[in-house]
Amino acid sequence: MAVKLKLGPNRPKVGFFSSVLRGVLVLVLLVLLAGTAIFGFFYMKYQRIVDDRLAAGPLFKSVAQIYAAPREVRTGQRLTVASIAADLRSAGYNGNPNLGTFETRDNSILIKPGPQSFHSTDGATITTDGAQVTAITAENGVALQAYELEPRLITALSEDKNRTKRRLVSYKEIPPRMVQAVVAIEDRRFFEHGGVNYLRMAKCAEQDLVSHQKECGGSTLTMQLARGFFLTPEKNYVRKLREILITFQLESRFNKQQIFEMYANQINLGQRGSFAINGFGEAAQAFFGKDLGRLDTAECALLAGTIQSPNRLNPYRHPERAMERRNVVLDSMVETGAITEAEAEHAKAEPLHLAPPNVDASEAPYFIDLVHEQLVQRLGDDLNHQSLRIYTSLDPELQRAASDAVEVGMRNVDEQVRKQRRAKDASVTYPQVALVAINPHTGQILALVGGRNYGVSQLDHAVSERPTGSIFKPFVYATAYNTSLNGLTLGDGETFTALTRISDDPQDFGTNGQSYTPGNFEKGEYPGMVTAATAIEHSLNIATIALAQKVGYSNVAALARSAGITNARATPSVAIGTYSATPIDMAGAYTVFANNGVHLKPWMLASVRNPNGDIVADFAPEAKQVLDPRTAYLTQSLLEGVMARGTAATVRSHGFTAPAAGKTGTSHDAWFAGYSSNLLCIIWIGNDDYTDVKLQGALAAAPIWAEFMNRAIKLPQYSDMHSFTKPDGVSLVEINRASNLPADASCSGNGYTMAFLDGTQPAGTCSHMGDRTQTIVDQLTGAAPAPVPPDNYSTPQQPESNDPEAPKKKNFFKRLFGGGDKPQNETPPQQ
């Protein structure tokens, strides 16, 4: 008997399950289709973004690689093989075979420039005796007297709205330790995953949800690269999805080595001054002062550790944090097998070994800004469409000497300012500074400091116009010497010489009904009749204006303009420097004295070349004969007297003893202009708001000049500071100090040497004072010739104190440290 089973009323029908399953499947399919469509849309969107970025050209456009001047090695120069090798290494030799290679052999070094060298492919062998260069031999065996080394790369500027520096490196140029350090701390599975580490991202997402913060990114190196190139820096999940989409694009187009190379050149590693440091190549120079390929394990670990937070882990501001993070990287490298425990411990024991932090010294930022400005003026849009190599005039070693001298000198200036303000219970405003150093025989700008701190202010005071004060006065005396050279006399019929007597008594130099009654720096002190030499040595204002009046204000102004001081006008006050010029202008102006009367316009650009080495632009120095060499030397002789016996004698008290000529200047600002046989330097100190700095050139600017020259003379290329060469037509005469007449056997040893145009030197001697050559007036009137009496102005001895309060205590010290510089009643009358 068959039993029939009846289903209960609640049993679902099979068709119901099928319909639900179909609905779920359809829904999932729709979601997948929608997701695929959305993914495809955004994938294509970011594909176009990547395509457009890649189609625009190379990812890194280095607008300009800026190089220093080539260093010249000469036979007899004090140099070692090690120092020459260090220079070549700094220039990139042996690191880049296309640039050049070198090989050391005992006491010689073989140099082989490559196809990308600044020079021709001709190499040379430099031989030393262990201390100085004994021979230079070209490849063809010809003996050379000099050889130029490859110029060093100063910096590379990128085409960027921001101020960015980047030194491009290829993957092959990145040391393995650098790769291992970055991979160990940032993305251990970089060479294995397809661009996204999903497990790491999931862990970071969980961590962020628990902490309610977006601190754990979970980004791979490729994702970091995607973010840096294409996205904004905010942290949210939408941006993370964008990172992933771009990452897929990058991973499909490039291999891992190419991706790491791009990452190594793109990553931001902090700030140096006002420039961002991008890439390991730039960071290696910024932090350690060396090429990336020369970094050791500890240094690679430090750079890799900085990636996490460049500002918080900056080794200069936070060395403890940076070292702690470096050690974390070293531990990670042990975990990945990149190094052993022993290697890690050895690296941890290393100090940071950072390069000096002075960006002004290492990278000459004010100099670079001026170079860029001139390039824009000369090349225009071409500058942004080619990877150019810019060769400049800069001497990196002298630049460091300049920056260090300014840093040391401004501490002294600040102390003077603080003493002044404390005495007056006033707020302290610290002045600014500029230093310009040039080769006086080529016009080449060798070093330039435009301010106290480039990171704080990018205003370049080296190109700011300020009243020149008494450093202008030599042009008055040069104009007077021109009258002698041309056979002319002063108004009294006397031929001008260093012993010509000038009145320093108060007088009115007004013109066109306007009164102009300037005073000397020492108010109330007027020594009466003084020699021209004494007037400039003690920077006497009235005597200098009186001389300018005799030779013609228009002649003085014309000479100044021909020497590059274009603002000079034919008024009485032109003689004491009331018209403005820049420190660079004054450096060029002083070349007429230092360079046999030839004015050289200071220059910083030598040539511009494209990547193939072809010259795109050449810059020829501008030279013009302004003075007769005899006039230049005679004026220079007066400036040597300023150093020996006048307001610039303080330079000698700072230890600089080489032959030199110079002049102090004090207006609203403090100046010093001086030079040796191979180096000319201008110092300016003043306030940005144009208020009176209340500092004397001899106390504020001259010590910086001396500090700089003391550092420069220790460098091999400037060590030969010899006596100035006398031209034909000039005689040197020993003058007795008491009588102002030539010394003889009875009175020698108590005088100084003075230069005279042949035929103008006094004929008498200190023991026979009546044999002076007659003047034209003497000849016309039949008057007997008279000896030149001694000045009524005492000659100071070497300074014994640099106390800024000294001038307030005794007038003798005012004369000694710069008295007579600052003009009174400065407003120049109109003419």
Quick: pLDDT tens for 603-656. 999 999 887 778 888 888 899 999 999 999 999 999 999 999 999 999 999 999
The enclosing H or E element of 736 equals strand 730-736
Res. 564: pLDDT tops 60: yes
Q: Which amino acid is located at 751 in the chain?
A: G
Q: Are 744 and 791 in contact (CB under 8 A)?
A: no
pLDDT-derived band at 345 (thresholds 50, 70, 90) equals very high
Residue written as tokens 């960071």?
283
The two three-digit tokens of residue 302, written as one number: 């430090």
Burial of 132 (0-12, 13-18, 19+ CB in 10 A): middle
Task: Strands of 558-703 (E only): list them.
Answer: 580-581, 598-600, 605-609, 615-618, 623-625, 661-666, 670-675, 680-686
Average pLDDT rounded to a whole number, residues 297-311: 94
Q: Are 807 and 817 in contact (CB under 8 A)?
A: yes
Burial of 497 (0-12, 13-18, 19+ CB in 10 A): buried
Res. 46: pLDDT tops 60: yes
Which residue intervals of 572-724 are DSSP H helices?
583-594, 629-645, 650-653, 702-712
Residue written as tokens 């420069």?
712
Higher-confidence position of 784 and 382 = 382
Res. 473: pLDDT tops 60: yes
What's the rounded Cα separation, in Å, for the pair 673 and 676? Answer: 11
279-291 burial code (b ≥16 CB/10 A, e <16): bbbbbbbbbbebb
155-188 burial code (b ≥16 CB/10 A, e <16): bbbbeeeeebbbbbbeeebbbebbbbbbbbbbbb
Q: Are 282 and 275 in contact (CB under 8 A)?
A: no
The two three-digit tokens of residue 662, written as one number: 């110079």
DSSP string over 160-190: -SS-EEE----GGGS-HHHHHHHHHHH-TTT
What's the rounded Cα separation, in Å, for the pair 823 and 277? Answer: 47
Kind of pairing, strands 432-438 and 388-392?
A: unpaired
Q: What is the DSSP letter of 765?
A: B
The two three-digit tokens of residue 525, written as one number: 């002190």
Kind of pairing, strands 62-67 and 388-392?
A: parallel
What's the rounded Cα separation, in Å, for the pair 754 and 756? Answer: 7
Res. 440: pLDDT tops 90: yes
- CB atoms inside a 10 Å sphere around CB 318: 15
Residue written as tokens 């800004």?
369
Average pLDDT rounded to a whole number, residues 236-253: 77
What's the rounded Cα separation, in Å, for the pair 636 and 675? Answer: 10
**Tally of residues, the chain:** 831
- Where is mean pLDDT largest: 186-195, 360-369, 471-480? 471-480
Average pLDDT, the chain: 82
Q: What local confidence, expressed as pLDDT, does residue 427 receive?
A: 66
Q: What local confidence, expressed as pLDDT, does residue 337 receive?
A: 95
Classify residue 782 as left (phi > 0), alpha (psi -120 to 50) or beta. left
Kind of pairing, strands 275-278 and 164-166?
A: parallel
What's the rounded Cα separation, in Å, for the pair 795 and 527? Answer: 12
Q: What local confidence, expressed as pLDDT, does residue 829 receive?
A: 34
Q: What local confidence, expressed as pLDDT, does residue 277 receive?
A: 86
Q: Are 328 and 305 in contact (CB under 8 A)?
A: yes
pLDDT-derived band at 496 (thresholds 50, 70, 90) equals very high
Question: If we measure between CA atoms, which residue out of 48, 35, 37, 58 comes closest to residue 246?
Answer: 48
Res. 804: pLDDT tops 70: no
Average pLDDT rounded to a whole number, residues 546-552: 94
Question: If we measure between CA atoms, which residue out of 156, 158, 173, 223 comes closest to residue 194?
Answer: 223
Q: Which amino acid is located at 699 in the chain?
A: L
Q: What are the CA-CA distances from residue 725 to residues 631, 643, 678, 705, 798 (Å)?
A: 13, 18, 12, 23, 26
- Where is mean pLDDT largest: 65-69, 207-211, 343-347, 824-828? 343-347
Res. 138: pLDDT tops 50: yes
Q: Are 93 and 100 in contact (CB under 8 A)?
A: yes
What's the rounded Cα separation, in Å, for the pair 419 and 499? Answer: 40
What is the Cβ-side half-sphere exposure of residue 538, based on CA atoms within 13 angstroms?
28
pLDDT tens, 696-730? Answer: 888 999 999 999 999 999 998 999 999 999 999 99
Res. 779: pLDDT tops 60: no
Compute CA 573 distance to the chain's CA centroid, rounded to the nearest angstrom: 33
Q: Are 171 and 261 in contact (CB under 8 A)?
A: yes
Res. 770: pLDDT tops 50: no
- The CA dihedral of 650, 640, 440, 681, to the nearest 10 degrees, is 10
Q: Are 576 and 516 in contact (CB under 8 A)?
A: no
Q: What are the CA-CA distances from residue 391 to residues 76, 371, 372 (Å)?
A: 27, 10, 12
Query: Cα angle at 86 between 80 and 90, to 5 degrees?
Result: 150
Res. 547: pLDDT tops 90: yes
Task: Strands of 464-575 (E only): list them.
Answer: 466-467, 501-503, 529-531
Q: What is the DSSP letter of 768?
A: B
What's the rounded Cα separation, in Å, for the pair 493 and 528? Answer: 20
% of the chain surpassing 90 pLDDT: 46
Kind of pairing, strands 501-503 and 466-467?
A: unpaired
What's the rounded Cα separation, in Å, for the pair 191 and 531? Answer: 83
Question: If we measure between CA atoms, which residue out of 578, 579, 573, 577 comes closest to residue 829?
Answer: 573
Q: Which amino acid is located at 528 in the chain?
A: G
- List residues bridging with 166 in a β-sheet: 278
What's the rounded Cα separation, in Å, for the pair 52 and 236? Answer: 25
Residue written as tokens 């013609």?
552
Q: Are 825 and 517 in contact (CB under 8 A)?
A: yes
Q: What local confidence, expressed as pLDDT, does residue 775 receive?
A: 38
The two three-digit tokens of residue 129, written as one number: 């005796």
What's the rounded Cα separation, in Å, for the pair 662 and 708? Answer: 14
The enclosing H or E element of 547 equals helix 541-551
Higher-confidence position of 423 and 586 = 586
Q: Give Cβ neighbours of residue 106 (< 8 Å, ≥ 6 apart).
A: none
- Where is mean pLDDT largest: 576-585, 761-770, 797-806? 576-585
Kind of pairing, strands 62-67 and 153-158?
A: antiparallel
Q: What is the DSSP letter of 355?
A: P
Q: Are 484 and 496 in contact (CB under 8 A)?
A: yes
SS (H, E, C) 16-71: HHHHHHHHHHHHHHHHHHHHHHHHHHHHHHHHHHHHHHHHCCCCCCEEEEEECCCC
Query: Cα angle at 731 between 726 and 735, to 5 degrees?
Result: 115
DSSP string over 294-313: G--HHHHHHHHHHTT-TTTT
What's the rounded Cα separation, in Å, for the pair 691 and 80? Answer: 49
What's the rounded Cα separation, in Å, for the pair 556 and 571? Answer: 9
Furthest-apart CA pair in the chain: how many Å? 176
pLDDT-derived band at 825 (thresholds 50, 70, 90) equals very low
pLDDT tens, 72-102? Answer: 899 988 889 988 998 888 787 877 777 889 9
Per DSSP, the chain holds a count of helices (H) and strands (E) of 25, 28
Higher-confidence position of 800 and 399 = 399
3-state secondary structure of 380: helix
Q: What is the DSSP letter of 700?
A: I
